[in-house]
Chains A and B, each alone.
Chain A
């Protein structure tokens, strides 16, 4: 059992999603477990990633041969498959010990997409109905699975996801000959439809079941194919708007296979991944449009500068910001000010004038913010903003390879916020 668990969790670890948020569910009568809307991290591995769910594959046997995947059929690796009862026991016992928020179940494609999807649904059904498990369940929708099975999955799971993996169809077909965008977008559409339909049902009756209440997510691998940051973010932005995905995860490509279709990377592109997450945060929480962050002429994020600082330096005309008067949306755009401190500023300013000492207390990175702010102690005089002089102040230290995930040091943790 332990060997099986090691194989099937190591095989699932490149899926970066671990979020357990976005769903609230009460404990079923006579059962165990609920879902906390804010998400909970139970531990952090040596790579600093949050452990929230028991993230495993049902099986690492796979009929596909995707170049970027450790489980592709042409790899000579140890293969294993869980029995439904084994997985259910593991989930229940880990949960009872408060080691996890629930189960994240994916799988290699065994036989057919439907056969695999059915097996995933069976695990979720057993947990929910036989064991009255109320904890979090995240299921993968297997590309090519029938809409009916995806619908069943959505009625047991809190969240469903289909991974696009490769951010353009040409590259995807090149690296994963058995896949195309259609095989990914079809289940994505069934999920979207399920969410909409059951949402309507619930308007009529509170008794109607919830369909994937924590929504759907996807993952894009960056660095395995030649797409630019602009292409990647443009795709993400479309996914947030169209099928209303809750999260797009970015996974810096880690070379797991020798394959001449793949770049010969020595280390994963962690800095690029970090910048993409920062840009993603700007789109989701800071009111930025993708075209404000990048465009066709500037398709790559600056590795030395977080994208918010980059925007500010390209737009000296909108500064200085007067914290006593500026709207919240504008305060959010000042480098060094995050969501939390911007809220504190807006809540507090009706009681008096905001001074720099307050900003320090509120957690603002004053060194970064200062050049963009009107300093009340200088009676409204403002030194003209010269981007080329400020830029060095805002640059990240070149030696640090993994940065804070957030442009302004928000203490939120990766993965718990959906």
Chain B
């Protein structure tokens, strides 16, 4: 007992909860320390989610780029490059408890468990990681369609989203390739993060969620004068292509879930009606 690890924890005190600052680097550092110190891991979690328990042994982790890099190298070595990508996508799901599942999965991977190099989806943890990664990537794919740009007074384009998973960085390659010749920005109002492209490079910045619009009407208010013309045209188009004889709101809500209506101009009326407790959509 009482051997100090140098990070502020007592070794051998039983199951440990590793708490990090929240980013992927912090998580990987936690994995690194858990392996190095052969800890019996109770949970790994972000500080923002951590609720101190009376009997938990808590270890606080400082993110460390080198340690994180070594874990990534290990994942590629014991699994493959795609496995590393899957692990990161699963982490970005921000699903409750996913980091602990990832830890068990990685722990098995590093030990060559079942010789599958991380591909045995009959294993419950491996399948949970696979699913979380799939859901995150699927949402990123959906947002390639659901991002709505408006023209800002300075002529650049801006959009606000509130995705369930932390997909903003995953959108960068798509929109950079599609709109390489004008400046644009996408803000994640849920996480206070912005992806900004200046016409040359894309980068992630922190932005204050309090200053971001709460819905599409708020975003419209920030747009350049005259921008609303295309709103009207888009709404008119959206209404005109609907075939009333085939009306099917259930199918619509399944394909375009209500949680995404907040920043869509064509769903704005339905979205605010919902907020007032009116029957959804007309």
Q: Give chain A's interface residues, CB within 8 Å of chain B.
A: 1-2, 5-7, 9-10, 12-14, 26-27, 30-34, 36, 38, 40-52, 54-55, 90, 93-94, 96-99, 254, 267-268, 270, 344, 347-348, 351-352, 354, 358, 361-362, 402, 411, 413
Contact segment of B34-42, B93-101, B177-185 = B177-185
A98: contacting residue among B138, B142, B148, B238, CB under 8 A: B148
Beta-carbon nearest neighbor of B264 in chain A: A43
Instruction: Assess whether B120 is interfacial by the CB under 8 Å rule.
Output: yes
Q: Are B116 and A44 in contact (CB under 8 A)?
A: no
Q: Please provide the chain B residues from 128 to 162 with a CB less than 8 Å away from any CB of chain A in the complex.
A: 138, 141-142, 144-150, 157, 159
What's the Cα separation between A270 and B174 when bound, in Å?
36
Q: Are A347 and B251 in contact (CB under 8 A)?
A: no
Instruction: Assess whether B252 is interfacial by the CB under 8 Å rule.
Output: yes
What's the Cα separation between A338 and B123 when bound, in Å?
21
A-chain residues with CB within 8 Å of residue B205 when the two chains form the complex: none
Q: Are B182 and A32 in contact (CB under 8 A)?
A: yes
Instruction: Assess whether B47 is interfacial by the CB under 8 Å rule.
Output: no
Q: At the interface, is chain A mostly helix, strand, loop or mixed?
A: loop
What's the Cα separation between A33 and B149 when bound, in Å?
14
Q: Are B114 and A351 in contact (CB under 8 A)?
A: yes
Instruction: Assess whether B122 is interfacial by the CB under 8 Å rule.
Output: yes
A43: contacting residue among B233, B236, B238, B281, CB under 8 A: B238
- Which A-B residue pairs are the 10 nearest by beta carbons? A48-B251, A47-B246, A351-B120, A45-B242, A44-B256, A42-B145, A48-B248, A10-B240, A9-B240, A40-B145
> How does the 8 Å CB contact mask read for B99-123 relative to A, with 1 for contact and 0 for none?
0000000000000001010011111
A-chain residues with CB within 8 Å of residue B267 when the two chains form the complex: 43
Beta-carbon nearest neighbor of A31 in chain B: B181
What's the Cα separation between A6 and B237 when bound, in Å?
6
Beta-carbon nearest neighbor of B175 in chain A: A98
Q: Can you list 16 residue pairs at the A/B interface with Cβ under 8 Å?
A: A5-B236, A10-B240, A27-B178, A41-B145, A44-B252, A47-B244, A48-B246, A48-B254, A93-B230, A96-B182, A97-B234, A98-B159, A254-B245, A358-B121, A402-B246, A411-B138
Chain B nearest CB, measured from A128 CB (Å)? 16
Q: Are B236 and A96 in contact (CB under 8 A)?
A: no
B181: contacting residue among A5, A10, A32, A99, CB under 8 A: A32
Beta-carbon nearest neighbor of B243 in chain A: A47
B-chain residues with CB within 8 Å of residue A42 when the two chains form the complex: 145-146
Instruction: Assess whether B2 is interfacial by the CB under 8 Å rule.
Output: no
What's the Cα separation between A189 and B123 when bound, in Å?
52
Beta-carbon nearest neighbor of A414 in chain B: B255
What's the Cα separation between A299 and B247 when bound, in Å?
29
Beta-carbon nearest neighbor of B282 in chain A: A46
Q: Are A254 and B246 in contact (CB under 8 A)?
A: yes
Q: Are B246 and A354 in contact (CB under 8 A)?
A: no
Instruction: Assess whether B55 is interfacial by the CB under 8 Å rule.
Output: no
A-chain residues with CB within 8 Å of residue B254 when the two chains form the complex: 48
What's the Cα separation between A172 and B237 when bound, in Å?
31
Q: Give chain B's interface residues, CB within 8 Å of chain A.
A: 114, 116, 119-124, 127, 138, 141-142, 144-150, 157, 159, 174, 177-182, 230, 232-234, 236-252, 254-256, 264, 266-267, 281
* Also in contact, A46 and B150, with CB within 8 A (given A27-B177, A33-B178, A354-B122): no
Q: Are B255 and A358 in contact (CB under 8 A)?
A: no
- In addition to A6-B236, A344-B121, 19 A-B residue pairs with Cβ atoms within 8 Å of each other are A13-B243, A27-B180, A32-B179, A32-B181, A34-B177, A43-B145, A43-B267, A45-B242, A45-B243, A46-B252, A47-B244, A48-B246, A48-B254, A94-B234, A97-B148, A97-B157, A97-B234, A98-B145, A348-B122
Beta-carbon nearest neighbor of B114 in chain A: A351
Total of A-B residue pairs, C-beta within 8 Å: 157
Beta-carbon nearest neighbor of B267 in chain A: A43
* Also in contact, A13 and B149, with CB within 8 A (given A38-B141, A348-B120): no
Most buried by B among A9, A45, A52: A45
Beta-carbon nearest neighbor of B246 in chain A: A47
What's the Cα separation between A13 and B236 when bound, in Å?
13
* Also in contact, A361 and B127, with CB within 8 A (given A97-B234, A347-B119, A402-B251): yes
Q: Are A51 and B241 in contact (CB under 8 A)?
A: yes
What's the Cα separation between A26 and B142 when bound, in Å?
20
* Also in contact, A46 and B178, with CB within 8 A (given A5-B233, A98-B148, A413-B255): no
Q: Are B255 and A99 in contact (CB under 8 A)?
A: no
Q: Are B236 and A2 in contact (CB under 8 A)?
A: yes
A-chain residues with CB within 8 Å of residue B247 when the two chains form the complex: 46-47
A-chain residues with CB within 8 Å of residue B180 when the two chains form the complex: 27, 32
What's the Cα separation between A52 and B240 when bound, in Å?
14
B237: contacting residue among A5, A348, A411, A413, CB under 8 A: A5
B-chain residues with CB within 8 Å of residue A51 when the two chains form the complex: 238, 241
B149: contacting residue among A30, A48, A96, CB under 8 A: A96
B-chain residues with CB within 8 Å of residue A362 when the two chains form the complex: 121
Q: Are A348 and B121 in contact (CB under 8 A)?
A: yes
What's the Cα separation between A268 and B124 when bound, in Å?
45
A-chain residues with CB within 8 Å of residue B141 when the two chains form the complex: 38, 40
* Also in contact, A254 and B120, with CB within 8 A (given A42-B145, A96-B149): no
